[in-house]
Every structure is written in structure tokens, then in C-alpha cells.
Structure 1
Amino acid sequence: MTRTVIAQGTFDILHPGHVHYLEEAAAMGDELYVIVARTTNVDHKEAPICPATQRRDVVGALAAVDEALLGHEEDIFVPIEDIDPDVIALGHDQHHDDEAIQSELEHRGINCEVRRASAREAGDDEQLLSTRLIIDRILERRGE
């Protein structure tokens, strides 16, 4: 029996933290589906720089990802219902409330586990593990 995992996020300006999250999510099962947030649904932080289709295509090119798709425009749980995963893997720093997600899954009759991926350590090489930090560095170096 195939164990299906869903990861989700904005994935704007892909960086090593994203890769770590998706590789760890892939290790939680046999198939990894990644739901990439549509720009209109990103309301918890600044709007993405890159268009949703570009972000989906870049995420889909990663070896750990079996399929990348755009999120639903109105109901973020629709793709989850369609895929019917065994696991939803959340990033270590994603703003989601694990218990609220689990409650909504149960309400919709979706029987799956909600797990958090671990944080990736930055190490000594000054890796930038967030899109915000990458943008800040660009602005700093360009004198903005």
C-alpha cells in the first residue's frame, strides 16, 4: 500500500530550507504531493514575488516531489480531499495550527496524520533559509 504525503506552502524564491522541508516530507511516505499556494491565498505575509505557476514548476522539478499542484482558489482543503493523503507534513515554522487542521480534516472525513518537519540548521556558511531574509539581503546589497 502506498503511503501518500502532502506538503504545502508558498515556496517563493526557493531556498535550502524549502528543500529540507520537502525532502523530510518525502521521507514520511512513498509519494509526495506539494500544494503551492496561489498568490491570492497568501494573506499571512507579504505577497509572493514569483507567480504561482512558476513557483509550482520550480517545486515540481525537485527530485523529492512526485507532483506539484496549485492550491484551490477558495477552499484550501479541496486538493487534500482529492488526494486523500496519509500524512500532511507541515514546515517547522509554518503559521498553521496543527490542532485546527486536524479538526477540519476529521470534520471532512479525511483520516490522516498531521506532522511537523524539523528545522534545517543554517550551519556556518551563512545560508539564508527564508525568502524574507533573501529579499532583505538583496535590498541591503543593492542599497535599497
Structure 2
Amino acid sequence: MKTVMATGTFDIVHSGHGFYLNEAKKLGGEDAKLVVVIARDSTVKAKKRVPVVCEEQRLEVVKMLKPVDEAYLGHTGDMFKIVHEIKPDIIAIGPDQHFNLDELRKELKKRNIDAEVIKVTKYKEAPLDSSCKIIKRIKGMEFDEDIFKNCQH
């Protein structure tokens, strides 16, 4: 059985996330194990924006997704530490993740990590196929304040 590692922020989970995880798992064959590493809040803040959903809740939701066998929070600092711990056969890079694949492969080799790096190129297009699009849609909506009276925080 091959272990496939997929990574991401998974802030406001949408159908594109599910599609990416299904495609990642397929890379390992029929009986592949999919392990997902969720970016820490500090990493997301440094590279993207402040996440809407905290890291513990993002981890909890990702663990519930059908293709996911295991999920963990990444480490702060050295992103390769978790790769050493999981020891994946394949690292799946998402279609919207901007890694230099050759540099990533060189760094893995330098660290004696024997994992194949494969870019998932298929992408599920939908009107709300990114967390940013969802956030923008919500920001543009008008809500009756009464709707929030029964919301739990």
C-alpha cells in the first residue's frame, strides 16, 4: 500500500478541496492511504491571509472527509519535519499550490526523503471554487441582523 501525502490550508472547505483529495489519493493506486497535512495558522498568516477557521477546526473537518485516512497539523518552521514523520511514497501538490517542483525534489533528496512529487493538474471549476471567492461572496451579501441572534459562537 502506498502512502500519499496532500497538504493545504483547507479554510472554508469546498468541493475543490474534495476533488483535490480524491485526485491525490488516486495517485497511489486502489489501496492507497491518504494522509493530509493542514497548514498551521501561523503559516497561513505568513503566506496567504488570516484564516477564517482556526487550525484545530480545519483539522477536525478534514478528518471527516471521505478520501482522508489520516490528517495532522503541520509543524511550524521546518515543513519537511512532518514529511520525515509520515514517510510518504508520493507527495501530491495541488493545482493552486505554487511550489517549484524541481527545488522541492532537490530538497527532499538532500534530506534523504524518498518520495515522488506529483502535481495534481485537474481542477474542479465551480462558481465558488476557492475560499477567497466564498469570502468575497459573503462580504457582498446583506443580512438581516435578526438572523445572527441565535448563532452560537
Q: TM-score, normalized by length of structure 1?
A: 0.91
One-letter amino acid of the counterpart of residue 94, structure 1: Q
Match of 1:85 among 59, 73, 88: 88
5+ residue gaps, structure 2: 144-153
One-letter amino acid of the counterpart of residue 37, structure 1: A
Distance 2:77 2:124 in 1: 35
One-letter amino acid of the counterpart of residue 20, structure 2: Y
Could you say what secondary structure the match of 1:141 adopts?
Answer: coil
Could you say what secondary structure the match of 1:63 adopts?
Answer: coil
- 1:34-53 matches, cutoff 5 A: 34-42=36-44, 43-53=46-56
Computing the radius of gyration from Cα coordinates, the structure with the larger value is 2
What is the CA-CA distance between 1:52 and the residue it aligns to?
A: 0.3
- Provide Cα deviations, 1:35-67, integer angstroms capped at 9, x if missing partner: 000000122211211010100110110110000
Residue correspondences, number: 139
User: Which structure 1 residue ranges, 4+ long, deviate > 3 Å from structure 2?
Assistant: none
Matched with 2:133 is: 133
- Provide Cα deviations, 1:67-109, integer angstroms capped at 9, x if missing partner: 0100012211111011111100010111222112111100110
Matched with 1:73 is: 76
Distance 1:70 1:139 in 2: 28
Instruction: Name the Cα RMSD after superposition.
Output: 1.3
Q: TM-score, normalized by length of structure 2?
A: 0.86
5+ residue gaps, structure 1: none
Aligned sequence identity (%): 42
Distance 1:113 1:36 in 2: 20
Distance 2:43 2:124 in 1: 29
What is the CA-CA distance between 1:142 and the residue it aligns to?
A: 3.1
